[in-house]
Amino acid sequence: MRLDGGQSRAEVKRRAETMVQQVLYRALVSTKWLAESVRAGQLGPGLRVLDGSWYPPGTREARKEYLERHVPGASFFDIEECKDKSSPYEVMLPSEAGFADYVGRLGISNSTHVVVYDGDDLGSFYAPRVWWMFRVFGHRMVSVLNGGFRNWLKEGHPVTSEPSRPEPAVFKATLDRSLLKTYEQVLENLESKRFQLVDSRSQGRYLGTEPEPDAVGLDSGHIRGSLNMPFMDFLTEDGFEKSPEMLRAMFEAKKVDLSKPLIATCRKGVTACHIALAAYLCGKPDVAIYDGSWFEWFYRAPPDTIVTQWKGKKA
Q: How far is CA 132 from the centre of its chain?
A: 5
Is residue 315 included in any domain, yes or no? no
Residues 83 and 171: their CA atoms lie apart, in Å, by 17
Q: Which of 82, 266, 273, 282 is catalytic?
A: 266
Amino acid at the residue 286: D
Domain boundary among 155, 172, 188: 155
Residues 228 and 110 placed together within one structural domain of the fold: no
Please report, for the chain, how many H helices and E strands are present, in that order. 11, 12
Is residue 296 included in any domain, yes or no? yes
Is residue 10 included in any domain, yes or no? no
Estimate the crossing angle of helix 183-192 against helix 293-300, to 10 degrees: 80
Residues 40 and 131 placed together within one structural domain of the fold: yes
Residues 232 and 186 placed together within one structural domain of the fold: yes
Residues 77 and 185 placed together within one structural domain of the fold: no
29: β partners: 145
Scanning the chain, the segments in alpha helix (DSSP H) are 9-23, 31-39, 62-68, 96-104, 127-136, 148-154, 183-192, 203-207, 244-253, 272-281, 293-300
Residuewise pLDDT in 10s, the chain (315 residues): 444 445 577 666 665 554 444 446 799 999 999 999 999 999 999 999 999 999 988 899 999 999 999 999 999 999 999 999 999 898 999 999 999 999 999 999 999 999 999 999 999 999 999 999 999 999 999 999 999 999 999 999 999 999 899 999 999 999 999 999 999 999 999 999 999 999 999 999 999 999 998 888 899 999 999 999 999 999 999 999 999 999 999 999 999 999 999 999 999 999 999 999 999 999 999 999 999 999 999 999 999 999 999 875 543
DSSP label of 232? G
Is residue 14 included in any domain, yes or no? no
Q: In this structure, are residues 51 and 82 in contact, taking their beta carbons and an 8 Å threshold?
A: no
Is residue 20 included in any domain, yes or no? no
pLDDT on residue 2: 43
Residues 81 and 197 placed together within one structural domain of the fold: no
Coil, strand or helix: which one is 75? strand
Residues 276 and 229 placed together within one structural domain of the fold: yes
pLDDT on residue 310: 86
CA distances from 80 to 26, 87, 92, 93 (A): 27, 12, 10, 11
What is the chain's Cα-based Rg?
20
Checking DSSP bridges between strand 47-51 and strand 288-290, what pairing results, if any? unpaired
Domain boundary among 117, 139, 155: 155
Residues 187 and 148 placed together within one structural domain of the fold: no
Is residue 161 included in any domain, yes or no? no
Which residue segment(s) compose the domain that 55 sits in? 28-155
Is residue 22 included in any domain, yes or no? no
User: Which helix (H) or strand (E) segment is 242 a member of?
Assistant: none
Residues 189 and 224 placed together within one structural domain of the fold: yes
CATH number for the domain that contains residue 298: 3.40.250.10
Residues 294 and 188 placed together within one structural domain of the fold: yes
CA distances from 96 to 57, 121, 136, 247, 253 (A): 28, 32, 10, 32, 37
Nearest residue to 136 via CA among 107, 172, 173, 170: 173
Residues 286 and 206 placed together within one structural domain of the fold: yes
Active-site annotation holds for 82: no
pTM of the entire structure? 0.91
Q: Tally Cβ neighbours within 10 Å of residue 221.
A: 24
Q: How many domains does the chain have?
A: 2
Residues 223 and 138 placed together within one structural domain of the fold: no
Is residue 129 included in any domain, yes or no? yes
Scanning 170-270, the segments in alpha helix (DSSP H) are 183-192, 203-207, 244-253
Residues 140 and 192 placed together within one structural domain of the fold: no
